[in-house]
Amino acid sequence: MSQRIADMRRDYTREGLSEAQAPAEPFALFRRWFDEAVLTEQLPVEPNAMTLATVDDDGRPHCRVLLLKGLDERGFTFFSNYDSAKGQQLQANPFAAMTFFWPTLERQVRIEGRVERVSAEESDAYFQVRPLGSRIGAWASPQSQVIADRAELEGLLAETERRFLEQAPHCPPHWGGYRLLPERVEFWQGRPSRLHDRLNYRQVDGAWQFERLAP
């Protein structure tokens, strides 16, 4: 098995990423790459899927895949249960990193920065456009807590469905959005012979600067 893994490789053949293609700030380039990913990537790849990394009290990193749900000039927005493991980690250490990978385009984007909660109004506005099942699930599931078995979860779901039988579920107080405020954004474009293009944006004294990193 280990030898087969070691032999796995693919060459990258798409066009590169030059400094001439880099705008003054990273959001414009991210939007362009994201729009191209939406047009190019095919299911089961979800263009807005990203790996989110947080750190616990012992300094140990934790990763999971989430979906990006918003982007503006402030940062990158995702939603979760505030009482979940990631929520507790962000409460204790409000910094995170996220990575997007678009295999068809041979691209990835790495983003690092401080994380803050979005306003209650923003959380409620997004919650109301979620499918009904997802809204009920946000109330039913004690995310990241130990449960006995699947039957316990289904029992919690049935109880929650009865609770909201005659009224629409509102946004739970333990659920809402986070916004990652980027301090570093790296754009990675695969190139032949592993000589990849890496353009790195950094916040310096409130302004964006970019530089090329060796692959």
Question: Is 194 annotated as catalytic?
Answer: yes
> Nearest Cα to 94, choosing from 55, 62, 121?
55
Alpha-helical (H) ranges within the chain are 2-7, 26-40, 85-92, 120-129, 132-140, 150-163
Name the binding residues for FMN: 64-69, 79-80, 86, 108, 143-144, 188, 198
Residue 135 in tokens:
């809204």
* CB distance 81 to 138 below 8 Å: yes
| Per-residue confidence band for 10, with pLDDT thresholds at 50, 70 and 90 | confident
How are beta strands 49-55 and 95-102 bridged, if at all?
A: antiparallel
CATH topology of domain 15-130+174-212: Pnp Oxidase; Chain A (2.30.110)
Residues that constitute the known binding site for substrate: 9-12, 69, 126, 130, 134, 194-196
| Element containing residue 177 per DSSP (H, E) | strand 175-189
**pTM for this structure?**
0.91
Instruction: Provide the annotated binding site.
Output: 9-12, 64-69, 79-80, 86, 108, 126, 130, 134, 143-144, 188, 194-196, 198
How confident is the model over 104-130, as pLDDT tens digits? 999 999 999 999 999 999 999 999 999
Q: Taking a C-beta distance cutoff of 8 angstroms, is the pair 199, 110 a contact? A: no
Q: Does position 2 have pLDDT exceeding 70, yes or no?
A: no
Find tokens 């944006």 and name the residue.
201
Report the percentage of the chain scoring pLDDT > 90.
87
8 A C-beta contact, residue 85 and residue 79: no
**E strand or H helix at 61:** strand 61-67
The answer to whether 180 touches 79, Cβ cutoff 8 Å, is no
Active-site choice (14, 32, 163, 194): 194
**CB contact set of 154 (below 8 Å; sequence gap of 6+):** none
Residues 140-171: tens digit of each pLDDT:
999 998 899 999 999 999 999 999 998 999 99
Distance CA 185, CA 199 (A): 8
